[in-house]
C-alpha cells in the first residue's frame, strides 16, 4: 500500500460527508509510539470521558527518528483521527501537541509554525513536552504537582499553581536517562557483555536475554545492538530484566535498585526546585506516575519503590495513577485553555 505523505493525507477529507460539531485533538508523542484522540469541544466531564476516535502510530520524537519522519507520524495520526471521527479540519477548534523532545521555546515555535500551515487560522494551537500531557492526564487538565514518566525514556516535570515549572532528566539516553526502560535494558546488555569477557559477575541475564532475542552467544549481541539502535527496541528488554531480578539474580536486582534511586532523585529535584512540599515536605501535591517501568510486576514494583523513596522526604506527595492516557490529558489541556473563550452553545452538549 502506498504511504500517504504531506497534503495527500488530507485529500480524503473531501471524500467524506462530515458530521457537525466542533472537536479538539490531543496528541501524545513519545519515544515508542504516538497517540491522537479526538474529543468533542462540547464535552461534559463524564466518566469515562467521551472519545470520538483514537489512532496510533510510531515514534514522533525528532531526536530519535529525525524531524521529517516525526512530522509525518504526527500528521498521519491527526488526519486519521479526524477521518475516523468523520470530521474535517474546519471542525477543529484546538490542537494540543505534547511531544517528547520538545525541550526549548525554539522547538515549540517550530512545531507551532508547522501546525499553522496544516490547520485553519481559527484553530487554537498548543505545543508542550509530552510530560505536561502526562501530568494533565492525572489531574484532569490542571497543571499542578509533579509527574514522573518512566517508559522508553524518563522525565520528571512539575508545575506550581502560579505557573512556575521545572524538569529533571529527559535529556535522552546519551545524557543519562537512567531509570528508563532504555537505561535499564542498556545496563542489562552491558552486564551480559561484562560477564562474558570476565569483567563482571555471572548473571542469568545472559541466558534470559539470549533466549528472548533468539541468539546463540553474547558475541551476537554486538551485531543485534548496532543494526538498529532505536531506543524503543532496546527498551523492549525491560520485562526480561524484571523477570531475572524476580528470580533472584543479584546483577538484575542491582540494576533495578539503582533505577529506583535515579527515578526518585529526578522527582525530588523537581519538588525541591518548586517547593511543592513546603518547608517541612508535608504540603500535599499530586505525584502522577506514568509509564511501563512503573507498573507492578510479580515481586518487583518499581513504581511503589519510587513512591516510598520520595515520601520519606516529602510525605505530602500523594501518588496518582491516571485513569486516562496522556493523549486525553493533552486534549484536556487544550479544552481548559480555550474553555473561557468558547461560546456557551459550544460548551454545552448539542
Q: pLDDT tens, 142-180?
A: 899 999 999 989 999 999 999 999 999 988 888 878 899
Same domain, 61 and 173: no
Residue 301, SS3? coil
- Cα separation, 220 vs 336, in Å, equals 51
The residue assigned the cell 509525518 is: 72
| 163 found inside a domain | no
| Confidence band of 3 (pLDDT split at 50, 70, 90) | very low
| 141 found inside a domain | no
Same domain, 264 and 231: yes
Same domain, 123 and 178: no
Per-residue pLDDT tens digits for 266-275: 999 999 999 9
- Cα separation, 163 vs 183, in Å, equals 31
The CATH code of the domain that includes 255 is 3.30.420.40
| 135 found inside a domain | no
Per-residue pLDDT tens digits for 120-144: 999 999 999 889 999 999 998 889 9
Higher-pLDDT residue of 30 and 83 is: 83
Same domain, 311 and 175: yes
| 55 found inside a domain | yes
| 148 found inside a domain | no
| 157 found inside a domain | no
Q: E strands of the chain, at which residues?
A: 23-29, 34-40, 53-57, 92-99, 124-128, 145-150, 154-159, 165-169, 285-290, 317-320
Q: Model-level pTM greater than 0.85? A: no
Same domain, 285 and 342: no
Same domain, 119 and 203: no
| 150 found inside a domain | no
Domain coverage including residue 112: 6-128+325-347
Same domain, 184 and 274: yes
Are the C-beta atoms of residues 254 and 140 closer than 8 Å to each other?
A: no
Cβ neighbours of 198 (radius 10 Å): 6
Are the C-beta atoms of residues 130 and 100 closer than 8 Å to each other?
A: yes
- Cα separation, 192 vs 43, in Å, equals 51
Same domain, 116 and 183: no
Per-residue pLDDT tens digits for 187-243: 999 999 999 999 999 999 999 999 999 999 999 999 999 998 788 899 999 999 999
| 177 found inside a domain | yes
Would the pLDDT of 343 be above 60?
Answer: no
Same domain, 32 and 69: yes
Same domain, 196 and 228: yes
- Cα separation, 46 vs 237, in Å, equals 38
Cell of 268: 525530588
- SS3 track for 158-181: EECCCCCEEEEECCCHHHCCCCCH
Q: How many domains does the chain have?
A: 2
Amino acid at each position: 500500500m502506498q504511504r500517504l505523505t504531506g497534503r495527500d493525507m488530507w485529500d480524503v477529507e473531501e471524500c467524506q460527508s462530515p458530521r457537525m460539531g466542533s472537536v479538539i485533538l490531543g496528541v501524545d508523542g513519545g519515544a515508542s509510539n504516538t497517540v491522537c484522540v479526538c474529543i468533542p469541544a462540547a464535552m461534559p466531564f463524564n466518566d469515562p470521558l467521551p472519545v470520538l476516535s483514537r489512532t496510533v502510530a510510531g515514534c514522533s520524537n525528532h531526536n530519535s527518528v529525525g524531524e521529517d519522519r516525526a512530522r509525518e507520524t504526527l500528521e498521519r495520526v491527526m488526519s486519521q483521527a479526524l477521518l475516523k471521527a468523520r470530521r474535517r479540519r474546519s471542525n477543529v477548534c484546538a490542537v494540543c501537541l505534547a511531544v517528547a523532545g520538545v525541550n526549548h521555546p525554539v522547538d515549540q515555535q517550530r512545531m507551532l509554525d508547522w501546525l499553522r500551515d496544516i490547520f485553519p487560522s481559527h484553530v487554537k494551537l498548543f505545543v508542550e513536552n509530552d510530560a505536561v500531557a502526562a501530568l494533565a492526564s492525572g489531574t484532569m487538565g490542571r497543571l499542578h504537582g509533579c509527574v514522573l514518566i518512566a517508559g522508553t525514556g524518563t522525565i520528571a516535570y512539575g508545575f506550581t499553581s502560579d505557573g512556575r515549572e521545572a524538569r529533571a532528566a529527559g535529556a535522552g539516553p546519551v545524557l543519562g536517562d537512567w531509570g528508563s526502560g532504555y537505561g535499564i535494558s542498556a545496563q542489562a546488555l552491558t552486564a551480559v557483555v561484562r560477564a562474558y569477557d570476565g569483567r563482571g559477575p555471572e548473571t542469568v541475564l545472559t541466558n534470559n536475554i539470549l533466549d528472548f532475542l533468539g541468539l546463540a552467544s553474547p558475541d551476537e549481541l554486538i551485531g543485534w545492538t548496532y543494526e538498529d539502535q532505536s531506543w524503543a527496541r532496546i527498551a523492549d528488554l525491560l520485562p526480561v530484566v524484571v523477570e531475572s531480578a524476580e528470580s533472584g539474580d543479584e546483577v538484575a536486582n542491582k540494576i533495578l535498585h539503582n533505577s529506583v534511586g535515579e527515578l526518585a532523585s529526578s522527582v525530588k529535584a523537581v519538588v525541591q526546585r518548586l517547593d511543592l512540599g513546603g518547608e517541612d515536605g508535608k504540603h500535599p501535591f499530586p505525584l502522577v506516575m506514568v509509564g511501563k517501568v512503573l507498573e507492578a510486576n510479580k515481586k518487583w514494583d518499581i513504581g511503589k519503590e519510587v513512591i516510598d523513596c520520595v515520601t520519606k522526604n516529602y510525605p505530602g506527595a500523594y501518588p496518582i495513577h491516571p485513569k486516562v492516557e496522556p493523549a486525553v490529558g493533552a486534549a484536556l489541556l487544550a479544552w481548559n485553555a480555550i474553555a473561557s473563550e468558547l461560546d456557551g452553545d459550544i460548551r454545552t452538549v448539542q
